[in-house]
Protein backbone atom coordinates (compact mmCIF):
# COMPACT_ATOMS: atom_id res chain seq x y z
CA UNK A 1 0.00 0.00 0.00
CA UNK A 2 1.57 3.24 -0.96
CA UNK A 3 0.94 6.50 0.80
CA UNK A 4 0.67 9.68 -1.13
CA UNK A 5 2.47 12.73 0.08
CA UNK A 6 -0.84 14.21 1.16
CA UNK A 7 -1.60 11.15 3.28
CA UNK A 8 1.76 11.30 4.95
CA UNK A 9 1.56 15.00 5.68
CA UNK A 10 -2.01 14.75 6.99
CA UNK A 11 -1.17 11.74 9.17
CA UNK A 12 1.99 13.37 10.46
CA UNK A 13 0.39 16.62 11.39
CA UNK A 14 -2.62 14.85 12.90
CA UNK A 15 -0.34 12.82 15.16
CA UNK A 16 1.60 15.94 16.11
CA UNK A 17 -1.62 17.79 16.86
CA UNK A 18 -2.94 14.92 18.96
CA UNK A 19 0.26 14.65 20.96
CA UNK A 20 0.33 18.42 21.47
CA UNK A 21 -3.24 18.33 22.76
CA UNK A 22 -2.43 15.48 25.13
CA UNK A 23 0.64 17.22 26.48
CA UNK A 24 -1.24 20.49 26.79
CA UNK A 25 -3.94 18.75 28.80
CA UNK A 26 -1.37 17.18 31.09
CA UNK A 27 0.37 20.55 31.35
CA UNK A 28 -2.85 22.26 32.31
CA UNK A 29 -3.50 19.71 35.03
CA UNK A 30 0.02 20.15 36.31
CA UNK A 31 -0.32 23.92 36.34
CA UNK A 32 -3.61 23.68 38.16
CA UNK A 33 -2.05 21.42 40.72
CA UNK A 34 0.86 23.81 41.12
CA UNK A 35 -1.54 26.62 41.79
CA UNK A 36 -3.39 24.67 44.43
CA UNK A 37 -0.16 23.61 46.06
CA UNK A 38 0.92 27.22 46.24
CA UNK A 39 -2.36 28.01 47.97
CA UNK A 40 -1.73 25.32 50.56
CA UNK A 41 1.77 26.56 51.19
CA UNK A 42 0.35 29.98 51.82
CA UNK A 43 -2.28 28.46 54.06
CA UNK A 44 0.28 26.69 56.18
CA UNK A 45 2.33 29.86 56.46
CA UNK A 46 -0.74 31.71 57.71
CA UNK A 47 -1.37 29.07 60.36
CA UNK A 48 2.21 29.42 61.57
CA UNK A 49 1.90 33.20 61.65
CA UNK A 50 -1.27 33.08 63.69
CA UNK A 51 0.15 30.53 66.10
CA UNK A 52 3.02 32.91 66.60
CA UNK A 53 0.59 35.77 67.15
CA UNK A 54 -1.46 33.71 69.62
CA UNK A 55 1.60 32.87 71.66
CA UNK A 56 2.77 36.43 71.50
CA UNK A 57 -0.55 37.79 72.75
CA UNK A 58 -0.66 35.27 75.58
CA UNK A 59 2.87 36.36 76.50
CA UNK A 60 1.66 40.00 76.46
CA UNK A 61 -0.94 39.05 79.03
CA UNK A 62 1.79 37.45 81.05
CA UNK A 63 3.97 40.55 80.81
CA UNK A 64 1.13 42.81 81.89
CA UNK A 65 0.42 40.67 84.86
CA UNK A 66 4.06 40.59 85.93
CA UNK A 67 4.56 44.28 85.57
CA UNK A 68 1.52 45.07 87.65
CA UNK A 69 2.28 42.53 90.31
CA UNK A 70 5.78 43.90 90.70
CA UNK A 71 4.91 47.64 90.59
CA UNK A 72 1.27 47.75 91.55
CA UNK A 73 0.98 50.45 88.84
CA UNK A 74 -2.23 50.12 86.75
CA UNK A 75 -0.44 51.46 83.67
CA UNK A 76 1.47 48.19 83.38
CA UNK A 77 -1.84 46.41 82.77
CA UNK A 78 -2.18 47.87 79.30
CA UNK A 79 -0.94 44.74 77.41
CA UNK A 80 -3.15 42.63 79.68
CA UNK A 81 -6.23 44.58 78.61
CA UNK A 82 -5.83 43.99 74.95
CA UNK A 83 -4.43 40.47 75.06
CA UNK A 84 -7.70 38.65 75.58
CA UNK A 85 -9.39 40.08 72.54
CA UNK A 86 -6.35 39.62 70.37
CA UNK A 87 -5.76 36.05 71.53
CA UNK A 88 -9.37 35.25 70.96
CA UNK A 89 -9.21 36.60 67.44
CA UNK A 90 -6.17 34.56 66.63
CA UNK A 91 -7.67 31.49 68.20
CA UNK A 92 -10.88 31.70 66.14
CA UNK A 93 -8.91 32.20 62.96
CA UNK A 94 -6.79 29.17 63.75
CA UNK A 95 -9.87 27.04 64.34
CA UNK A 96 -11.10 28.05 60.88
CA UNK A 97 -7.80 27.43 59.19
CA UNK A 98 -7.37 23.97 60.66
CA UNK A 99 -10.90 22.86 59.83
CA UNK A 100 -9.51 20.45 57.19
CA UNK A 101 -6.90 18.89 59.54
CA UNK A 102 -8.66 16.86 62.24
CA UNK A 103 -5.56 16.36 64.42
CA UNK A 104 -4.56 20.04 64.47
CA UNK A 105 -8.14 21.06 64.97
CA UNK A 106 -8.52 18.67 67.92
CA UNK A 107 -5.32 20.02 69.48
CA UNK A 108 -6.62 23.57 69.20
CA UNK A 109 -9.94 22.60 70.68
CA UNK A 110 -8.14 20.94 73.58
CA UNK A 111 -6.09 24.12 74.06
CA UNK A 112 -9.18 26.17 74.79
CA UNK A 113 -9.71 25.14 78.42
CA UNK A 114 -6.03 25.74 79.14
CA UNK A 115 -6.30 29.23 77.69
CA UNK A 116 -9.42 29.88 79.77
CA UNK A 117 -7.70 28.59 82.87
CA UNK A 118 -4.69 30.76 82.25
CA UNK A 119 -6.81 33.78 81.62
CA UNK A 120 -8.78 33.34 84.86
CA UNK A 121 -5.51 32.70 86.73
CA UNK A 122 -4.08 35.99 85.48
CA UNK A 123 -7.28 37.84 86.37
CA UNK A 124 -7.23 36.29 89.83
CA UNK A 125 -3.60 37.28 90.40
CA UNK A 126 -4.27 40.83 89.33
CA UNK A 127 -7.19 41.03 91.83
CA UNK A 128 -4.97 39.57 94.57
CA UNK A 129 -2.35 42.30 93.94
CA UNK A 130 -4.94 44.94 94.23
CA UNK A 131 -5.46 43.51 97.70
CA UNK A 132 -1.74 43.32 98.45
CA UNK A 133 1.66 42.39 97.15
CA UNK A 134 2.40 39.51 99.46
CA UNK A 135 -0.76 37.61 98.78
CA UNK A 136 -0.22 37.94 94.97
CA UNK A 137 3.40 36.84 95.23
CA UNK A 138 2.31 33.81 97.13
CA UNK A 139 -0.13 32.83 94.40
CA UNK A 140 2.60 33.18 91.82
CA UNK A 141 5.10 31.23 93.91
CA UNK A 142 2.61 28.37 93.87
CA UNK A 143 3.76 27.87 90.25
CA UNK A 144 0.33 27.05 89.00
CA UNK A 145 0.30 29.88 86.51
CA UNK A 146 3.73 29.01 85.27
CA UNK A 147 2.78 25.39 84.81
CA UNK A 148 -0.22 26.37 82.75
CA UNK A 149 1.83 28.74 80.67
CA UNK A 150 4.42 26.06 80.01
CA UNK A 151 1.74 23.62 79.00
CA UNK A 152 0.19 26.13 76.63
CA UNK A 153 3.59 26.91 75.15
CA UNK A 154 4.33 23.20 74.78
CA UNK A 155 1.00 22.50 73.01
CA UNK A 156 1.32 25.45 70.68
CA UNK A 157 4.83 24.18 69.95
CA UNK A 158 3.34 20.82 69.05
CA UNK A 159 0.88 22.37 66.66
CA UNK A 160 3.58 24.53 65.18
CA UNK A 161 5.90 21.56 64.61
CA UNK A 162 3.22 19.69 62.74
CA UNK A 163 2.48 22.76 60.63
CA UNK A 164 6.17 23.24 59.80
CA UNK A 165 6.30 19.63 58.77
CA UNK A 166 3.28 20.14 56.52
CA UNK A 167 4.90 23.26 55.10
CA UNK A 168 8.06 21.41 54.25
CA UNK A 169 6.15 18.63 52.46
CA UNK A 170 3.99 21.08 50.58
CA UNK A 171 6.98 23.06 49.47
CA UNK A 172 8.62 19.86 48.20
CA UNK A 173 5.46 18.96 46.29
CA UNK A 174 5.24 22.42 44.78
CA UNK A 175 8.83 22.21 43.63
CA UNK A 176 8.17 18.78 42.10
CA UNK A 177 5.12 20.11 40.25
CA UNK A 178 7.10 23.02 38.91
CA UNK A 179 9.77 20.62 37.77
CA UNK A 180 7.17 18.44 36.01
CA UNK A 181 5.71 21.51 34.39
CA UNK A 182 9.07 22.55 33.05
CA UNK A 183 9.69 18.99 31.84
CA UNK A 184 6.40 18.97 29.98
CA UNK A 185 7.24 22.25 28.28
CA UNK A 186 10.55 20.84 27.14
CA UNK A 187 8.89 17.62 26.02
CA UNK A 188 6.26 19.45 24.05
CA UNK A 189 8.82 21.64 22.37
CA UNK A 190 10.99 18.66 21.49
CA UNK A 191 7.99 16.83 20.16
CA UNK A 192 6.95 19.77 18.01
CA UNK A 193 10.45 20.20 16.67
CA UNK A 194 10.78 16.45 16.14
CA UNK A 195 7.54 16.13 14.25
CA UNK A 196 8.28 19.12 12.08
CA UNK A 197 11.76 17.80 11.37
CA UNK A 198 10.38 14.40 10.42
CA UNK A 199 7.72 16.02 8.26
CA UNK A 200 10.35 18.12 6.52
CA UNK A 201 12.49 15.06 5.91
CA UNK A 202 9.54 13.13 4.47
CA UNK A 203 8.47 16.03 2.27
CA UNK A 204 12.03 16.66 1.17
CA UNK A 205 12.54 13.03 0.23
CA UNK A 206 9.28 12.99 -1.62
CA UNK A 207 10.20 16.08 -3.57
CA UNK A 208 13.63 14.68 -4.28
CA UNK A 209 11.96 11.51 -5.50
CA UNK A 210 9.66 13.48 -7.72
CA UNK A 211 12.50 15.51 -9.09
CA UNK A 212 14.29 12.30 -9.96
CA UNK A 213 11.21 11.02 -11.73
CA UNK A 214 10.83 14.32 -13.52
CA UNK A 215 14.42 14.24 -14.63
CA UNK A 216 14.07 10.68 -15.82
CA UNK A 217 10.96 11.68 -17.75
CA UNK A 218 12.70 14.65 -19.32
CA UNK A 219 15.56 12.42 -20.38
CA UNK A 220 13.26 9.75 -21.72
CA UNK A 221 11.35 12.40 -23.61
CA UNK A 222 14.51 13.83 -25.11
CA UNK A 223 15.56 10.35 -26.20
CA UNK A 224 12.15 9.70 -27.67
CA UNK A 225 12.34 12.90 -29.66
CA UNK A 226 15.73 11.96 -31.03
CA UNK A 227 14.50 8.49 -31.90
CA UNK A 228 11.40 9.92 -33.55
CA UNK A 229 13.48 12.32 -35.63
CA UNK A 230 15.72 9.48 -36.70
CA UNK A 231 12.75 7.32 -37.59
CA UNK A 232 11.17 10.15 -39.54
CA UNK A 233 14.43 10.75 -41.35
CA UNK A 234 14.75 7.07 -42.25
CA UNK A 235 11.17 7.14 -43.37
CA UNK A 236 11.77 10.07 -45.66
CA UNK A 237 14.77 8.38 -47.19
CA UNK A 238 12.80 5.21 -47.87
CA UNK A 239 9.91 7.17 -49.28
CA UNK A 240 12.17 9.17 -51.59
CA UNK A 241 13.91 6.00 -52.73
CA UNK A 242 10.71 4.19 -53.57
CA UNK A 243 9.31 7.17 -55.43
CA UNK A 244 12.51 7.45 -57.42
CA UNK A 245 12.55 3.69 -58.14
CA UNK A 246 8.99 3.83 -59.35
CA UNK A 247 9.81 6.61 -61.75
CA UNK A 248 13.04 5.04 -63.01
CA UNK A 249 11.42 1.69 -63.69
CA UNK A 250 8.42 3.08 -65.45
CA UNK A 251 10.31 5.23 -67.88
CA UNK A 252 11.88 2.42 -69.99
CA UNK A 253 8.68 0.41 -69.57
CA UNK A 254 6.81 3.23 -71.16
CA UNK A 255 8.93 2.88 -74.28
CA UNK A 256 8.82 -0.91 -74.34
CA UNK A 257 5.08 -1.19 -73.86
CA UNK A 258 4.36 1.90 -75.94
CA UNK A 259 6.37 1.10 -79.03
CA UNK A 260 5.63 -2.58 -79.04
CA UNK A 261 1.96 -1.66 -78.76
CA UNK A 262 2.21 0.80 -81.63
CA UNK A 263 3.94 -1.76 -83.84
CA UNK A 264 1.48 -4.48 -82.82
CA UNK A 265 -1.46 -2.23 -83.78
CA UNK A 266 0.24 -1.74 -87.15
CA UNK A 267 0.22 2.01 -86.66
CA UNK A 268 3.78 2.20 -87.97
CA UNK A 269 3.07 -0.02 -90.89
CA UNK A 270 1.63 -3.42 -91.76
CA UNK A 271 3.07 -6.58 -90.28
CA UNK A 272 3.34 -10.08 -91.64
CA UNK A 273 1.94 -12.96 -89.66
CA UNK A 274 5.23 -13.90 -88.05
CA UNK A 275 6.02 -10.31 -87.10
CA UNK A 276 2.60 -9.92 -85.59
CA UNK A 277 3.00 -13.14 -83.66
CA UNK A 278 6.35 -12.18 -82.27
CA UNK A 279 5.32 -8.67 -81.42
CA UNK A 280 2.33 -10.18 -79.67
CA UNK A 281 4.73 -12.07 -77.43
CA UNK A 282 6.77 -8.96 -76.79
CA UNK A 283 3.59 -7.09 -75.96
CA UNK A 284 2.37 -9.78 -73.59
CA UNK A 285 5.72 -10.05 -71.87
CA UNK A 286 6.01 -6.31 -71.50
CA UNK A 287 2.65 -6.18 -69.78
CA UNK A 288 3.64 -9.02 -67.56
CA UNK A 289 6.85 -7.20 -66.71
CA UNK A 290 4.82 -4.15 -65.77
CA UNK A 291 2.67 -6.24 -63.47
CA UNK A 292 5.82 -7.62 -61.85
CA UNK A 293 7.32 -4.17 -61.41
CA UNK A 294 4.11 -2.88 -59.85
CA UNK A 295 3.90 -5.80 -57.48
CA UNK A 296 7.53 -5.57 -56.46
CA UNK A 297 7.19 -1.86 -55.80
CA UNK A 298 4.11 -2.56 -53.70
CA UNK A 299 5.79 -5.31 -51.68
CA UNK A 300 8.84 -3.07 -51.15
CA UNK A 301 6.57 -0.42 -49.75
CA UNK A 302 4.89 -2.97 -47.51
CA UNK A 303 8.24 -4.19 -46.20
CA UNK A 304 9.40 -0.62 -45.61
CA UNK A 305 6.11 0.31 -43.99
CA UNK A 306 5.57 2.87 -46.68
CA UNK A 307 2.41 1.52 -48.24
CA UNK A 308 -0.31 4.11 -47.85
CA UNK A 309 -3.87 4.34 -49.06
CA UNK A 310 -5.83 7.37 -50.15
CA UNK A 311 -9.50 6.94 -49.26
CA UNK A 312 -12.21 8.92 -51.02
CA UNK A 313 -15.92 8.29 -51.41
CA UNK A 314 -16.65 6.45 -54.64
CA UNK A 315 -19.46 4.32 -56.08
CA UNK A 316 -18.45 0.71 -55.52
CA UNK A 317 -20.73 -0.64 -58.22
CA UNK A 318 -18.86 1.30 -60.89
CA UNK A 319 -15.56 -0.12 -59.75
CA UNK A 320 -17.01 -3.61 -59.86
CA UNK A 321 -18.25 -3.10 -63.40
CA UNK A 322 -14.87 -1.74 -64.44
CA UNK A 323 -13.13 -4.78 -63.05
CA UNK A 324 -15.62 -7.18 -64.62
CA UNK A 325 -15.06 -5.56 -67.98
CA UNK A 326 -11.32 -6.02 -67.61
CA UNK A 327 -11.56 -9.70 -66.65
CA UNK A 328 -14.25 -10.63 -69.14
CA UNK A 329 -11.91 -11.40 -72.07
CA UNK A 330 -9.96 -13.90 -69.94
CA UNK A 331 -13.20 -15.48 -68.73
CA UNK A 332 -14.50 -15.94 -72.20
CA UNK A 333 -11.16 -17.15 -73.47
CA UNK A 334 -11.32 -20.04 -71.02
CA UNK A 335 -14.95 -20.76 -71.79
CA UNK A 336 -16.10 -19.93 -68.28
CA UNK A 337 -19.17 -18.08 -67.11
CA UNK A 338 -19.00 -14.99 -64.89
CA UNK A 339 -22.03 -14.26 -62.77
CA UNK A 340 -22.49 -11.11 -60.71
CA UNK A 341 -24.79 -10.55 -57.75
CA UNK A 342 -24.58 -6.91 -56.80
CA UNK A 343 -26.94 -5.61 -54.13
CA UNK A 344 -28.85 -2.56 -55.38
CA UNK A 345 -28.20 -0.59 -52.18
CA UNK A 346 -24.43 -0.92 -52.38
CA UNK A 347 -23.95 2.80 -52.71
CA UNK A 348 -20.75 4.64 -51.90
CA UNK A 349 -17.72 3.41 -50.09
CA UNK A 350 -15.00 5.52 -48.50
CA UNK A 351 -11.80 3.80 -49.62
CA UNK A 352 -9.02 3.97 -52.19
CA UNK A 353 -10.78 2.94 -55.43
CA UNK A 354 -7.58 2.14 -57.23
CA UNK A 355 -6.57 -0.30 -54.52
CA UNK A 356 -10.03 -1.84 -54.19
CA UNK A 357 -9.97 -2.49 -57.91
CA UNK A 358 -6.46 -3.86 -57.68
CA UNK A 359 -7.55 -6.38 -55.04
CA UNK A 360 -10.66 -7.43 -56.96
CA UNK A 361 -8.73 -7.96 -60.16
CA UNK A 362 -6.16 -10.02 -58.30
CA UNK A 363 -8.81 -12.28 -56.76
CA UNK A 364 -10.72 -12.62 -60.02
CA UNK A 365 -7.53 -13.40 -61.92
CA UNK A 366 -6.80 -16.20 -59.49
CA UNK A 367 -10.34 -17.53 -59.85
CA UNK A 368 -10.01 -17.64 -63.63
CA UNK A 369 -6.52 -19.10 -63.43
CA UNK A 370 -7.48 -21.98 -61.22
CA UNK A 371 -10.83 -22.83 -62.83
CA UNK A 372 -10.88 -25.05 -65.89
CA UNK A 373 -14.62 -25.19 -66.32
CA UNK A 374 -17.78 -23.97 -64.76
CA UNK A 375 -18.49 -20.55 -63.39
CA UNK A 376 -17.17 -17.72 -61.31
CA UNK A 377 -19.54 -15.74 -59.13
CA UNK A 378 -18.88 -12.25 -57.84
CA UNK A 379 -21.24 -10.97 -55.18
CA UNK A 380 -21.35 -7.71 -53.27
CA UNK A 381 -23.64 -6.64 -50.46
CA UNK A 382 -23.80 -4.39 -47.43
CA UNK A 383 -23.42 -5.92 -43.99
CA UNK A 384 -24.18 -4.45 -40.60
CA UNK A 385 -20.96 -5.58 -38.98
CA UNK A 386 -17.71 -6.65 -40.59
CA UNK A 387 -15.71 -6.94 -37.38
CA UNK A 388 -14.80 -10.34 -35.90
CA UNK A 389 -16.98 -11.67 -33.04
CA UNK A 390 -16.06 -10.17 -29.72
CA UNK A 391 -15.21 -6.75 -31.11
CA UNK A 392 -16.25 -3.72 -29.08
CA UNK A 393 -18.49 -1.90 -31.52
CA UNK A 394 -20.08 -3.04 -34.80
CA UNK A 395 -18.51 -1.71 -37.97
CA UNK A 396 -20.84 -1.45 -40.96
CA UNK A 397 -19.32 -2.34 -44.31
CA UNK A 398 -19.53 -4.37 -47.48
CA UNK A 399 -18.79 -8.01 -48.16
CA UNK A 400 -17.47 -9.03 -51.55
CA UNK A 401 -17.16 -12.67 -52.46
CA UNK A 402 -15.59 -14.42 -55.41
CA UNK A 403 -16.42 -18.06 -55.64
CA UNK A 404 -15.34 -20.49 -58.32
CA UNK A 405 -15.83 -24.08 -59.38
CA UNK A 406 -12.12 -24.60 -59.81
CA UNK A 407 -9.61 -27.03 -58.39
CA UNK A 408 -9.71 -25.64 -54.90
CA UNK A 409 -6.87 -25.15 -52.48
CA UNK A 410 -5.18 -27.84 -50.43
CA UNK A 411 -5.46 -27.42 -46.68
CA UNK A 412 -1.69 -27.06 -46.30
CA UNK A 413 -1.73 -24.24 -48.86
CA UNK A 414 -4.55 -22.26 -47.31
CA UNK A 415 -2.42 -21.11 -44.37
CA UNK A 416 0.35 -19.94 -46.69
CA UNK A 417 -1.96 -18.34 -49.21
CA UNK A 418 -1.46 -14.74 -48.15
CA UNK A 419 2.27 -14.99 -47.57
CA UNK A 420 4.47 -13.24 -50.13
CA UNK A 421 6.32 -15.31 -52.73
CA UNK A 422 4.09 -18.29 -52.18
CA UNK A 423 2.83 -19.89 -55.29
CA UNK A 424 0.71 -22.91 -55.71
CA UNK A 425 2.28 -25.32 -58.14
CA UNK A 426 0.49 -25.13 -61.42
CA UNK A 427 2.65 -27.12 -63.74
CA UNK A 428 1.86 -26.10 -67.26
CA UNK A 429 1.14 -22.43 -67.19
CA UNK A 430 3.91 -21.21 -64.84
CA UNK A 431 5.25 -18.45 -67.06
CA UNK A 432 2.26 -16.13 -67.10
CA UNK A 433 1.07 -16.98 -63.71
CA UNK A 434 1.63 -13.76 -61.98
CA UNK A 435 4.07 -12.89 -59.28
CA UNK A 436 3.02 -14.79 -56.16
CA UNK A 437 2.74 -11.39 -54.52
CA UNK A 438 -0.83 -10.49 -55.41
CA UNK A 439 -2.59 -12.04 -52.45
CA UNK A 440 0.07 -10.85 -49.99
CA UNK A 441 -0.36 -7.30 -51.28
CA UNK A 442 -4.17 -7.63 -51.19
CA UNK A 443 -4.03 -8.91 -47.64
CA UNK A 444 -1.85 -6.00 -46.50
CA UNK A 445 -3.96 -3.46 -48.37
CA UNK A 446 -7.14 -4.69 -46.74
CA UNK A 447 -5.53 -4.54 -43.31
CA UNK A 448 -4.50 -0.94 -44.01
CA UNK A 449 -8.05 -0.12 -45.05
CA UNK A 450 -9.55 -1.57 -41.89
CA UNK A 451 -10.93 -4.68 -43.58
CA UNK A 452 -9.94 -8.30 -44.07
CA UNK A 453 -9.63 -11.08 -46.63
CA UNK A 454 -9.84 -14.81 -46.15
CA UNK A 455 -10.28 -17.95 -48.21
CA UNK A 456 -12.31 -21.10 -47.85
CA UNK A 457 -11.96 -24.07 -50.08
CA UNK A 458 -12.78 -27.68 -50.70
CA UNK A 459 -9.94 -29.23 -52.62
CA UNK A 460 -11.30 -30.37 -56.00
CA UNK A 461 -14.61 -28.57 -55.64
CA UNK A 462 -13.83 -24.87 -55.62
CA UNK A 463 -12.92 -21.88 -53.52
CA UNK A 464 -14.53 -18.82 -52.02
CA UNK A 465 -12.56 -15.65 -51.35
CA UNK A 466 -14.25 -13.15 -49.04
CA UNK A 467 -13.30 -9.49 -48.72
CA UNK A 468 -14.64 -7.21 -46.01
CA UNK A 469 -14.38 -3.44 -46.24
CA UNK A 470 -15.64 -0.84 -43.78
CA UNK A 471 -18.06 1.73 -45.17
CA UNK A 472 -15.95 4.50 -43.79
CA UNK A 473 -12.40 3.43 -44.29
CA UNK A 474 -9.64 5.40 -42.67
CA UNK A 475 -6.02 4.54 -43.39
CA UNK A 476 -4.30 2.84 -40.45
CA UNK A 477 -0.82 4.35 -40.56
Q: Which residues would be at the binding site for another protein (CB under 8 A)?
A: 239, 242-243, 246-247, 250-251, 253-259, 261-262, 265, 267-268, 290, 308-310, 312, 352, 354, 475
Closest to another protein by CB, 137 or 256: 256
* Pairing status of strand 337-342 against strand 375-383: parallel
Q: Residue 395 CB, nearest distance to another protein (Å)?
A: 22
279 or 453: CB nearest another protein: 279
Nearest to 388 by CA among 456, 468, 449: 468
Of 10 and 310, which CB lies nearer to another protein in the complex structure?
310
DSSP 376: E
CB of 434 to another protein, least distance (A): 19
Residue 336 · residue 460 · CB < 8 Å? no
Q: In whole angstroms, how close is the CB of 396 to another protein at the nearest point?
A: 24
Shortest distance, CB of residue 319 to another protein, whole angstroms?
14
Is residue 360 within 8 A of residue 397, CB to CB? The reply is no
DSSP letter at 407 equals -
* CB distance 51 to 35 below 8 Å: no
Residue 371 makes CB contacts below 8 A (sequence gap 6+) with 334, 336, 404, 405, 406, 407, 462
Q: Which of 342, 301, 319, 317 is nearest to 445 (CA)?
A: 301
Closest to another protein by CB, 62 vs 298, is 298
Q: Residue 75: how many CB atoms within 10 A of its CB? A: 8
Number of H helices, E strands in the chain: 10, 7
Give the shortest CB-239-to-another protein separation in angstroms. 7
Q: Which is nearer to another protein, 105 or 250 (CB)?
A: 250
Contact in structure between 412 and 419 (CB atoms under 8 Å): no
Cβ closer to another protein: 61 or 473?
473
Q: Which is nearer to another protein, 161 or 243 (CB)?
A: 243
What's the length of the chain? 477
In the complex with another protein, the residue whose CB is nearer, 63 or 275, is: 275
Residue 245 C-beta: closest distance to another protein, Å: 8
Q: How far apart are CA 465 and CA 477, in angstroms?
A: 26
Q: How far is the CB of 251 from another protein (least distance, A)?
A: 6
Sign of CA pseudo-dihedral 26, 32, 35, 36: negative
Cβ closest to another protein, residue 207 vs residue 312? 312
Contact (Cβ atoms closer than 8 angstroms) between residue 469 and residue 349: yes
Rounded-to-integer distance, Cα 9 and Cα 199, Å: 7
Nearer to another protein, 176 or 240 (CB): 240
Instruction: Find the shortest distance in angstroms from Cβ 308 to another protein.
Output: 4
| Alpha-carbon distances, residue 89 vs 96, 120, 159, 212, 244 (angstroms) | 11, 18, 17, 84, 130
* Least Cβ distance, residue 469 to another protein (angstroms): 17
Tell me how far apart the alpha carbons of residues 125 and 112 are, in angstroms, rounded to a whole number. 20
Nearest-approach distance from CB 200 to another protein, in angstroms? 60
Amino acid sequence: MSFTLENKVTAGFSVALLLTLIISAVSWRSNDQQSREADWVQHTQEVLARLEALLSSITDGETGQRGFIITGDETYLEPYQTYRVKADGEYQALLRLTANHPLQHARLTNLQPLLEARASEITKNIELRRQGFEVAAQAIRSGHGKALHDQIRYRIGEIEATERDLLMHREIDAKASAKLSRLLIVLRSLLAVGVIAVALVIIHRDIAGRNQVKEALVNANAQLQVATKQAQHADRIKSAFLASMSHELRTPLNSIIGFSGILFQELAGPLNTEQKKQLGMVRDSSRHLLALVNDILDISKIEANQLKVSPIPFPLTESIHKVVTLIMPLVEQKGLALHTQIAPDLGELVADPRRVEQILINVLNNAVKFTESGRITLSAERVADISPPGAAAPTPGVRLQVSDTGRGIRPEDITELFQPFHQVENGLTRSHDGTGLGLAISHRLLALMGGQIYAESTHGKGSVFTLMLPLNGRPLL
